[in-house]
């Protein structure tokens, strides 16, 4: 479903100041936990806005979370990053013939850029600090005290012949043994994303059946291997179960600056663009700082100071590593896992690192 970000424009002018490095607070901040309006707190919730669609469907498109002119600037910065990668390797944004392995950083078949310090590039942090994006997650959790994931970026190009195709890989990003709403995932969309432009495919309403599904599949004989317990892959039998429950798979379309939100219990996957438009987007995920332990926050601080990435879980459950970045079967020598320069954050961004919530 599609909805409006009603307060994004109002908060943008006041909060979107140029990024600076804020002074560290003398005393740690006290993280206010979620309030009574946190989503999925009680069954009869109703808000009269996009949150109702999210409760019902398990996903929503928050329109205009980032102003269009800002989204266009981020697109230009992403194109420039590719064109100037390691001094320029031959890629040109207006020449489709330059979209090939030897001219680009390694981008996997799912469009993910997993290395090169891109998780801490200036444009990546600018998107995380966007007022309309932060505001949406504050409404989801009913608290202003959030931390953010140091996640990766997606730059998927259509019609590539130098890599394997991306097949559906339906999954949920939540431990099957830990039911209930725990995490809201997000994508900030940067380029026009229509039916043929690849992107997120979500299983409508299946988040509400998650507990029942995993009870029925408790003794699943052919369970798909997962590198982390916070991931579960759906087998053909699982997909048939969802179909028999009437769950519909929906391609989610979005305009530049739209924020796509989905419950981590919602089965989903992505597809590669088929038309002429690339897919550019940022993975953005926030959770209440109060739900991270001091150990989590210290680990997260280390990840920020060493400019390492995390998964979509903002409590830095997994730091660094991730999928290998291979060029011609060997570790990519261009992947030094560092951004072009250290990011500078405004006050909002610094709080999102979790560092101000660490106790002495």
Mean pLDDT of 29-44: 96
> What's the whole-number mean pLDDT along residues 248-269?
98
**pLDDT reported for residue 20:** 43
This prediction's pTM = 0.91
- Rounded mean pLDDT, 16-41: 75
Averaged pLDDT, 12-41: 69
Number of Cβ within 10 Å of residue 17's Cβ equals 11
11 burial (CB, 10 Å; 0-12 / 13-18 / 19+) is middle
On the question of pLDDT at 1 being above 90, the answer is no
Q: What's the mean pLDDT when you consider all of the chain? A: 92
The whole-number pLDDT of residue 321 equals 65
pLDDT at residue 317, rounded to an integer: 86
- Pairing of the two strands 59-63 and 2-4: parallel
* DSSP states along 284-317: --EEEGGGS-HHHHHHHHHHHHTT--B-S-TT-S
Per the model's pLDDT, the better-predicted residue between 275 and 261 turns out to be: 261
- Residue boundaries of the structural domains of the chain: 50-357
pLDDT bin (cut points 50, 70, 90) of residue 35 is very high
Which of 19-28, 71-80, 125-134, 197-206 shows the lowest per-residue confidence on average (mean pLDDT)? 19-28
Return the ∠ at Cα 167 (arms to 174 and 336), rounded to 5°: 70
What pLDDT was estimated at residue 17?
35
Lookup result for tokens 């961004």: 349
Buried b (16+ CB within 10 A) or exposed e, 166-191: beeebbbbbbbeeeebbbbbbbbbbb
CATH no. for 50-357: 2.60.120.620
């Amino acid at each position: 479903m599609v909805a409006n970000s009603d307060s994004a424009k109002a908060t943008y002018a006041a909060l979107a100041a140029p990024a600076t490095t804020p002074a560290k607070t003398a005393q740690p901040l006290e993280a206010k936990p979620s309030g009574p309006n946190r989503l999925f707190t009680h069954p009869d919730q109703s808000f009269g806005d996009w949150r109702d669609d999210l409760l019902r469907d398990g996903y929503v498109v928050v329109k205009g979370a980032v102003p269009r002119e800002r989204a266009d600037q981020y697109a230009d910065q992403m194109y420039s990053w590719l064109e100037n990668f390691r001094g320029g390797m031959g890629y040109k944004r207006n020449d489709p013939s330059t979209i090939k392995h030897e001219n680009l950083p390694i981008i996997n078949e799912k469009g993910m850029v997993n290395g090169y310090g891109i998780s801490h590039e200036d444009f990546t942090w600018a998107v995380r600090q966007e007022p309309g994006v932060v505001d949406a997650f504050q409404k989801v959790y009913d608290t202003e005290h959030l931390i953010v994931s140091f996640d990766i970026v997606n730059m998927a190009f259509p019609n590539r012949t130098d890599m394997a195709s991306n097949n559906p890989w339906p999954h949920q990003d939540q431990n099957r043994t830990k039911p209930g709403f725990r995490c809201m995932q997000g994508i900030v969309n940067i380029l026009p994303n229509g039916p043929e432009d690849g992107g997120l495919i979500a299983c409508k309403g299946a988040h509400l059946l998650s507990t029942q599904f995993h009870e029925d599949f408790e003794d699943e004989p052919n369970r798909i291997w997962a590198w982390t317990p916070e991931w579960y892959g759906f087998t053909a039998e699982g997909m048939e179960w969802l179909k028999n429950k009437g769950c519909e798979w929906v391609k989610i379309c979005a305009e530049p600056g739209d924020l796509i939100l989905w419950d981590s219990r919602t089965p989903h996957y992505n597809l590669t663009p088929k038309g002429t438009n690339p897919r550019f987007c940022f993975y953005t995920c926030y959770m209440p700082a109060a739900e991270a332990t001091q150990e989590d926050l210290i680990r997260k601080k280390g990840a920020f100071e060493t400019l390492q990435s995390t998964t979509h879980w903002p409590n830095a459950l997994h730091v660094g590593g991730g999928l290998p970045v291979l060029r011609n079967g060997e570790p990519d020598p261009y992947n030094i896992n560092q951004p072009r320069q250290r990011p500078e954050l405004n006050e909002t961004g610094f709080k999102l690192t979790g560092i101000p919530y660490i106790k002495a």
